[in-house]
Structure 1
Amino acid sequence: MLKLNYTEVGLYMERTLTTPELLIAQRVVLAMRLGQSFHVEPGCACFLLRADLRELKVLETALQRELSSTVTLLPVDREFVEVSLTGSWIAEDRDAHEGMFLTLMSDRTEFLIYRLWQISAAHISSLA
Protein backbone atom coordinates (compact mmCIF):
# COMPACT_ATOMS: atom_id res chain seq x y z
CA MET A 1 0.00 0.00 0.00
CA LEU A 2 1.13 3.56 -0.66
CA LYS A 3 0.46 6.08 2.07
CA LEU A 4 0.66 9.75 1.14
CA ASN A 5 0.82 12.14 4.07
CA TYR A 6 -0.17 15.69 3.20
CA THR A 7 1.10 18.19 5.77
CA GLU A 8 1.57 21.96 5.91
CA VAL A 9 5.20 21.47 4.77
CA GLY A 10 4.40 19.21 1.82
CA LEU A 11 3.92 15.63 0.75
CA TYR A 12 5.61 12.61 2.28
CA MET A 13 5.07 9.19 0.70
CA GLU A 14 5.80 5.75 2.11
CA ARG A 15 5.14 2.12 1.26
CA THR A 16 3.63 -0.08 3.97
CA LEU A 17 2.64 -3.72 4.28
CA THR A 18 -0.58 -2.80 6.09
CA THR A 19 -3.86 -2.94 4.19
CA PRO A 20 -5.97 0.23 3.87
CA GLU A 21 -8.78 -1.44 5.84
CA LEU A 22 -6.51 -2.28 8.78
CA LEU A 23 -4.91 1.16 8.85
CA ILE A 24 -8.32 2.87 8.73
CA ALA A 25 -9.59 0.65 11.55
CA GLN A 26 -6.52 1.52 13.65
CA ARG A 27 -7.06 5.23 13.00
CA VAL A 28 -10.72 4.96 14.03
CA VAL A 29 -9.72 3.39 17.35
CA LEU A 30 -7.03 6.06 17.90
CA ALA A 31 -9.47 8.89 17.11
CA MET A 32 -12.05 7.44 19.50
CA ARG A 33 -9.52 7.11 22.31
CA LEU A 34 -8.30 10.67 21.79
CA GLY A 35 -11.79 12.10 21.36
CA GLN A 36 -10.98 13.46 17.91
CA SER A 37 -13.18 13.67 14.88
CA PHE A 38 -12.39 11.40 11.96
CA HIS A 39 -13.38 11.56 8.30
CA VAL A 40 -12.84 8.93 5.58
CA GLU A 41 -13.99 9.17 1.98
CA PRO A 42 -13.06 7.73 -1.40
CA GLY A 43 -11.05 10.17 -3.42
CA CYS A 44 -8.17 11.04 -5.68
CA ALA A 45 -4.68 12.28 -4.89
CA CYS A 46 -2.29 13.89 -7.35
CA PHE A 47 1.38 14.81 -7.36
CA LEU A 48 4.00 15.75 -9.93
CA LEU A 49 6.95 13.78 -11.26
CA ARG A 50 9.71 15.06 -13.49
CA ALA A 51 8.92 14.17 -17.09
CA ASP A 52 12.57 13.51 -18.01
CA LEU A 53 12.98 10.45 -15.76
CA ARG A 54 13.98 7.37 -17.78
CA GLU A 55 12.15 5.13 -15.30
CA LEU A 56 8.85 6.85 -16.15
CA LYS A 57 8.64 4.72 -19.31
CA VAL A 58 8.93 1.60 -17.15
CA LEU A 59 5.98 2.78 -15.07
CA GLU A 60 3.93 3.56 -18.19
CA THR A 61 4.62 0.05 -19.54
CA ALA A 62 3.71 -1.57 -16.20
CA LEU A 63 0.42 0.38 -16.08
CA GLN A 64 -0.48 -0.71 -19.62
CA ARG A 65 0.21 -4.37 -18.76
CA GLU A 66 -1.81 -4.24 -15.56
CA LEU A 67 -4.71 -2.29 -17.04
CA SER A 68 -4.77 -0.38 -13.76
CA SER A 69 -7.55 2.12 -13.21
CA THR A 70 -5.99 3.15 -9.89
CA VAL A 71 -3.20 5.21 -11.53
CA THR A 72 -3.36 7.78 -14.31
CA LEU A 73 -0.40 9.65 -15.82
CA LEU A 74 -1.06 12.98 -17.53
CA PRO A 75 1.53 15.31 -19.06
CA VAL A 76 1.40 18.77 -17.49
CA ASP A 77 4.09 20.46 -19.54
CA ARG A 78 7.59 19.65 -20.85
CA GLU A 79 8.97 19.33 -17.33
CA PHE A 80 6.30 17.48 -15.35
CA VAL A 81 3.82 14.61 -15.43
CA GLU A 82 0.89 14.43 -13.03
CA VAL A 83 0.29 11.13 -11.27
CA SER A 84 -3.32 10.69 -10.18
CA LEU A 85 -4.22 7.91 -7.73
CA THR A 86 -7.60 6.67 -6.53
CA GLY A 87 -8.00 5.54 -2.95
CA SER A 88 -9.17 6.76 0.46
CA TRP A 89 -8.71 10.20 2.05
CA ILE A 90 -8.44 10.28 5.85
CA ALA A 91 -8.51 13.54 7.79
CA GLU A 92 -9.95 15.17 10.90
CA ASP A 93 -12.82 16.67 8.92
CA ARG A 94 -14.19 16.85 5.41
CA ASP A 95 -12.53 20.17 4.52
CA ALA A 96 -9.07 19.44 5.97
CA HIS A 97 -6.05 20.21 3.81
CA GLU A 98 -3.81 17.96 5.88
CA GLY A 99 -4.38 14.25 6.07
CA MET A 100 -3.48 10.84 4.78
CA PHE A 101 -4.28 9.24 1.45
CA LEU A 102 -4.18 5.45 1.06
CA THR A 103 -4.08 3.49 -2.18
CA LEU A 104 -3.47 -0.13 -3.06
CA MET A 105 -2.02 -1.49 -6.28
CA SER A 106 0.44 -4.16 -7.41
CA ASP A 107 3.78 -4.31 -5.60
CA ARG A 108 5.67 -3.44 -8.80
CA THR A 109 3.55 -0.38 -9.52
CA GLU A 110 3.80 0.79 -5.91
CA PHE A 111 7.56 0.37 -5.99
CA LEU A 112 7.92 2.27 -9.28
CA ILE A 113 5.72 5.16 -8.16
CA TYR A 114 7.50 5.39 -4.81
CA ARG A 115 10.95 5.26 -6.43
CA LEU A 116 10.05 7.90 -9.04
CA TRP A 117 8.64 10.15 -6.31
CA GLN A 118 11.88 9.79 -4.31
CA ILE A 119 14.01 10.67 -7.35
CA SER A 120 11.81 13.67 -8.25
CA ALA A 121 11.66 14.92 -4.64
CA ALA A 122 15.45 14.70 -4.30
CA HIS A 123 15.97 16.63 -7.54
CA ILE A 124 13.43 19.32 -6.69
CA SER A 125 14.81 19.83 -3.16
CA SER A 126 18.36 20.11 -4.53
CA LEU A 127 17.18 23.02 -6.72
CA ALA A 128 15.76 24.92 -3.74
Structure 2
Amino acid sequence: MLKLTYTERSFYLECLSLSLEEWVTQRVILALRVGQSLCVEPSTASFLLPVDLPGVERLKSEVKRNDSEIMALSTCDSEYLEVTLQGSWLSNGSEEAVGVFVTTMSDRTEFFLQKIWQEAQACASAMSE
Protein backbone atom coordinates (compact mmCIF):
# COMPACT_ATOMS: atom_id res chain seq x y z
CA MET A 1 0.00 0.00 0.00
CA LEU A 2 1.19 3.52 -0.75
CA LYS A 3 0.53 6.28 1.77
CA LEU A 4 0.97 9.94 0.87
CA THR A 5 0.86 12.28 3.84
CA TYR A 6 0.01 15.86 2.84
CA THR A 7 0.94 18.71 5.17
CA GLU A 8 0.57 22.46 4.69
CA ARG A 9 3.93 22.73 2.91
CA SER A 10 4.78 19.34 1.44
CA PHE A 11 3.96 15.67 1.30
CA TYR A 12 5.70 12.41 2.13
CA LEU A 13 5.29 9.15 0.22
CA GLU A 14 5.89 5.76 1.82
CA CYS A 15 5.18 2.09 1.20
CA LEU A 16 3.46 0.17 3.98
CA SER A 17 3.23 -3.58 4.31
CA LEU A 18 -0.34 -3.46 5.66
CA SER A 19 -3.23 -3.94 3.29
CA LEU A 20 -5.30 -0.86 2.50
CA GLU A 21 -8.26 -2.28 4.43
CA GLU A 22 -6.16 -3.06 7.52
CA TRP A 23 -4.60 0.40 7.59
CA VAL A 24 -7.92 2.25 7.11
CA THR A 25 -9.55 0.08 9.80
CA GLN A 26 -6.75 0.92 12.25
CA ARG A 27 -7.05 4.63 11.42
CA VAL A 28 -10.83 4.60 11.94
CA ILE A 29 -10.44 2.83 15.30
CA LEU A 30 -7.81 5.39 16.36
CA ALA A 31 -10.10 8.29 15.39
CA LEU A 32 -12.98 6.76 17.36
CA ARG A 33 -10.85 6.22 20.45
CA VAL A 34 -9.47 9.76 20.53
CA GLY A 35 -12.74 11.41 19.52
CA GLN A 36 -11.38 12.82 16.25
CA SER A 37 -13.48 13.45 13.15
CA LEU A 38 -12.47 11.34 10.19
CA CYS A 39 -13.68 11.63 6.64
CA VAL A 40 -12.83 8.88 4.12
CA GLU A 41 -13.69 9.46 0.48
CA PRO A 42 -12.63 8.26 -2.97
CA SER A 43 -10.22 10.73 -4.53
CA THR A 44 -7.13 11.30 -6.62
CA ALA A 45 -3.71 12.60 -5.67
CA SER A 46 -1.07 14.09 -7.96
CA PHE A 47 2.56 15.04 -7.69
CA LEU A 48 5.40 15.91 -10.05
CA LEU A 49 8.56 14.01 -10.90
CA PRO A 50 11.46 15.30 -12.99
CA VAL A 51 11.41 13.60 -16.39
CA ASP A 52 15.17 13.11 -16.40
CA LEU A 53 15.25 10.85 -13.33
CA PRO A 54 16.72 7.40 -13.94
CA GLY A 55 13.86 4.91 -13.97
CA VAL A 56 11.09 7.16 -15.31
CA GLU A 57 10.85 5.17 -18.55
CA ARG A 58 10.72 1.94 -16.56
CA LEU A 59 7.93 3.40 -14.41
CA LYS A 60 5.97 4.23 -17.57
CA SER A 61 6.21 0.63 -18.78
CA GLU A 62 5.23 -0.74 -15.31
CA VAL A 63 2.13 1.44 -15.31
CA LYS A 64 1.12 0.31 -18.79
CA ARG A 65 1.65 -3.34 -17.91
CA ASN A 66 0.13 -3.53 -14.42
CA ASP A 67 -1.47 -0.42 -12.95
CA SER A 68 -3.00 1.80 -15.63
CA GLU A 69 -6.41 1.83 -13.88
CA ILE A 70 -4.83 3.20 -10.67
CA MET A 71 -1.98 5.41 -11.89
CA ALA A 72 -1.71 7.78 -14.84
CA LEU A 73 1.42 9.56 -16.04
CA SER A 74 1.16 12.82 -17.99
CA THR A 75 3.88 15.04 -19.39
CA CYS A 76 3.55 18.54 -17.94
CA ASP A 77 6.39 20.21 -19.80
CA SER A 78 9.97 19.46 -20.83
CA GLU A 79 11.06 19.10 -17.19
CA TYR A 80 8.22 17.40 -15.27
CA LEU A 81 5.93 14.39 -15.38
CA GLU A 82 2.68 14.39 -13.38
CA VAL A 83 1.80 11.22 -11.49
CA THR A 84 -1.92 10.89 -10.73
CA LEU A 85 -3.15 8.13 -8.41
CA GLN A 86 -6.67 6.83 -7.71
CA GLY A 87 -7.39 5.95 -4.09
CA SER A 88 -8.89 7.26 -0.86
CA TRP A 89 -8.44 10.58 0.96
CA LEU A 90 -8.58 10.59 4.77
CA SER A 91 -8.87 13.90 6.60
CA ASN A 92 -10.71 15.62 9.42
CA GLY A 93 -13.36 16.71 6.90
CA SER A 94 -12.28 20.34 6.65
CA GLU A 95 -11.51 22.06 3.38
CA GLU A 96 -7.78 22.14 4.16
CA ALA A 97 -5.42 20.21 1.91
CA VAL A 98 -3.98 18.38 4.91
CA GLY A 99 -4.56 14.65 5.25
CA VAL A 100 -3.52 11.23 4.09
CA PHE A 101 -4.06 9.65 0.69
CA VAL A 102 -3.82 5.85 0.38
CA THR A 103 -3.87 3.54 -2.58
CA THR A 104 -2.79 0.07 -3.54
CA MET A 105 -1.10 -1.24 -6.68
CA SER A 106 1.25 -4.05 -7.51
CA ASP A 107 4.02 -4.31 -4.91
CA ARG A 108 6.62 -3.83 -7.60
CA THR A 109 5.12 -0.57 -8.86
CA GLU A 110 4.61 0.77 -5.33
CA PHE A 111 8.23 0.08 -4.40
CA PHE A 112 9.54 1.52 -7.66
CA LEU A 113 7.43 4.68 -7.37
CA GLN A 114 8.66 5.23 -3.82
CA LYS A 115 12.27 4.78 -4.97
CA ILE A 116 11.88 7.30 -7.79
CA TRP A 117 10.13 9.78 -5.47
CA GLN A 118 12.99 9.46 -2.94
CA GLU A 119 15.52 10.12 -5.72
CA ALA A 120 13.56 13.23 -6.75
CA GLN A 121 13.60 14.45 -3.13
CA ALA A 122 17.35 13.87 -2.87
CA CYS A 123 17.94 15.79 -6.12
CA ALA A 124 15.74 18.69 -4.94
CA SER A 125 17.61 18.85 -1.61
CA ALA A 126 20.98 18.86 -3.37
CA MET A 127 19.90 21.66 -5.69
CA SER A 128 18.61 23.83 -2.82
CA GLU A 129 21.93 23.66 -0.96
User: Into which bin does the TM-score normalised by the smaller protein fall?
Assistant: over 0.9
Spell out, residue by residue over 1:82-119, the C-alpha distance to the aligned partner (whole angstroms, 9 max, x if none). Answer: 00000000001152311100010001111111111001
Q: How many residues align?
A: 128
Q: Which runs of 4+ in 1 moved over 6 A?
A: none
Structure 1 distance, partners of 2:54, 2:17, is 27
What CA RMSD, in Å, does the superposition of the two structures yield over aligned residues? 1.1
Corresponding residue number in structure 1 for 2:116: 116
Q: TM-score, normalised by structure 2?
A: 0.94
Deviation at 1:22, TM superposition (A): 1.1
Structure 1 distance, partners of 2:80, 2:115, is 16
Structure 1 distance, partners of 2:23, 2:107, is 18
Give unmatched runs, 5+ long, in structure 2: none
Corresponding residue number in structure 1 for 2:37: 37
Spell out, residue by residue over 1:14-58, the C-alpha distance to the aligned partner (whole angstroms, 9 max, x if none). Answer: 100111111111111111111111000000000010101130011
1:1-128 matched pairs, under 5 angstroms: 1-66=1-66, 68-128=68-128
Counterpart secondary structure, 1:30: helix
Q: TM-score, normalised by structure 1?
A: 0.95
The 3 A distance-change label for structure 1 pair 58 and 81 is same
